[in-house]
Amino acid sequence: MNFRETDLLHLWHPYTDTNKFEQIDFPIIQSASGVRLKDSNGKEYLDGISSWWCVNLGHSHKHVVNSIVQQSVSLQHSITGGMSHTAVIELSEKLSQVTPGDLNRVYYASDGASGIEAALRMVIQYWWNLGQSEKKNIISLSGAYHGDTMGTVGLGFLPKFHKPIEHVVNRSLQIPAPICFHCADSENCTLQCFKDAEQILTKHSKTTAAVIIEPVCQGAAGIRIYPPEYVTKLRKLCTELDILLILDEIAVGFGRTGKMFASDLAEIQPDLMVVGKSLTAGYLPMSAVITTEEFFDSFRSIPGQDRTFYHGHTFSGNPIAAAAAIAALEVFEKENIIEQSKIPANLLKSGFEAFSEKPGVHKTKTLGCMSSLEISEQAGGAKATEKMAILALKEGLIIRPLGPIVYLWPPLVTNKSEMKEMLSIFDYCLDCCISV
Ligand SMILES: Cc1ncc(COP(=O)(O)O)c(C=O)c1O
């Protein structure tokens, strides 16, 4: 089969400009192992973006693969509505153990966006259950990204992506997000930006059901890394104002920040935590909303009020995805992944610090295994990062720019020499593509 021709005849690629795509020699991946993907011609690529931020344990991990195979043989699907199965019970206990404080109740959805949708419906119904249906609005951060369903798009409206559906999207109220790249005080941060949160939440507390944020890093907005203290302060404020706090840990959960969860870094417990992506180490789609017993209890029906949460998905708690997630958590523990991730994290930090000296690089930021830099407008901005991504592919590294931002988001298991190789290709591409 001519894969390229057949692809161009039949596939509709997400987030892909068709005209540009048809012009490039895009890779057609056939297999992967560790931090490398291999295309149909045998060429290898380092995975600099952990395959859309979900392959924290790298590709083709034996333990996860074996667990998936075994589970597929014994039970591939069984519903979780009105009954249960062993794999989902085991996973729920494990998630309760690894998540902060008393987040002990787990609800499963199919992917990140559907997990967020579930969380949104939960918080709105929570206040309805308590007879406070005026608390129905959700507040998010500007530039937020929580998924691509109609409900989640409303939380993080981005003109470039959502202009054509603007007239039907129900947009949430937004707090101006902390953007450290553009902040004069970012070196000696005193969280002046938090004043916006204080002002908006105080004003709207009576009608607000919940605040939702991507803690410590707004991913799709441009890997906007910001201080955990912002999240800590937000927790305190939400408690004072009787507003629920939803942390979207879909991208940053499972070790990405150097701790198991961003909540751990901020030393807080949200009311609801949503996880996805690397929950199954990127093997199968699955997401979860994890909350407290107290929150869950408010959904018990009482005489005269049916409080059941009538919301669900065919694949909610799917056994094979659950088996992958259990295996992933076992790998985290057995292989001490958080400790291991310090190797790529430290190299990323020093690498990006060095990049910040280059002319044309506006600013760099790193946290755990996340790193980003902004190319200034004069040095080419978004055009330069686009060129970089194409050149990086030729050189054997997968990266995806976000406007003028370009970043590395390597698997947590990337070893020293692999990380050095990624940084060296990145360095070369920067030098070739920045116009100074
Ligand atoms: C923070 C965050 N929330 C939600 C989502 C949506 O997840 P999914 O693509 O699995 O629907 C993403 C995806 O990138 C994300 O980064």
Q: Is 286 in the pocket of ligand 1 (CB under 6 A)?
A: no
Looking at residue 380, its pLDDT comes to 96
Residue 300 has a pLDDT of: 98
Question: Closest by alpha carbon to 429, among 383, 381, 397, 382?
Answer: 397
What distance in Å separates the CA atoms of residue 196 and residue 305, rounded to the nearest whole number? 38
Q: How many CB atoms lie within 10 A of CB 214?
A: 27
Ligand 1 contact, 146 CB (< 6 A): yes
Ligand 1 contact, 151 CB (< 6 A): no
Q: How far apart are CA 121 and CA 134, in angstroms?
A: 14
For residue 182, what pLDDT is reported?
86
Assigned token pair, 103: 């987040």
Instruction: Please tell me the distance from the alpha carbon of residue 50 to that of residue 32, in angstroms, as a whole number.
Output: 12
From first CA to last CA, the distance across the chain in angstroms is 44
CB 426 within 8 A of CB 392: yes
As a whole number of angstroms, the distance between CA 214 and CA 412 comes to 20
Let me know: does 21 contact 13? Beta carbons within 8 Å: yes
Is the distance from the beta carbon of residue 112 to the nearest atom of ligand 1 less than 6 Å?
Answer: yes
If you measure from the C-alpha of residue 368 to the centroid of ligand 1, how many angstroms do you get, rounded to a whole number? 19
pLDDT, residue 343, reads 98
**What ligand 1 atom has the least distance to the C-alpha of 218?**
1
Cα 295 off chain centre by: 24
Distance CA 230, CA 211 (A): 13
User: What is the reported pTM?
Assistant: 0.98
Q: How many whole angstroms from 379 Cα to the centroid of ligand 1?
A: 30
Nearest CA to ligand 1 atom 3: 146
Could you tell me if the CB of 248 is within 6 A of ligand 1? yes
Is 216 touching ligand 1 by the criterion CB < 6 Å? no
Question: How far is the centre of ligand 1, averaged over its atoms, from the C-alpha of 161 (Å)?
Answer: 15
Domains and CATH numbers, the chain: 3-60+338-433 (3.90.1150.10), 63-334 (3.40.640.10)
pLDDT in tens, the chain (436 residues): 899 999 999 999 999 999 999 999 999 999 999 999 999 999 999 999 999 999 999 999 999 999 999 999 999 999 999 999 999 999 999 999 999 999 999 999 999 999 999 999 999 999 999 999 999 999 999 999 999 999 999 999 888 889 999 999 999 999 999 999 888 887 789 999 999 999 999 999 999 999 999 999 999 999 999 999 999 999 999 999 999 999 999 999 999 999 999 999 999 999 999 999 999 999 999 999 999 999 999 999 999 999 999 999 999 999 999 999 999 999 999 999 999 999 999 999 999 999 999 999 999 999 999 999 999 999 999 999 999 999 999 999 999 999 999 999 999 999 999 999 999 999 999 999 998 7
Report which secondary-structure segment, H or E, holds 395. helix 381-395
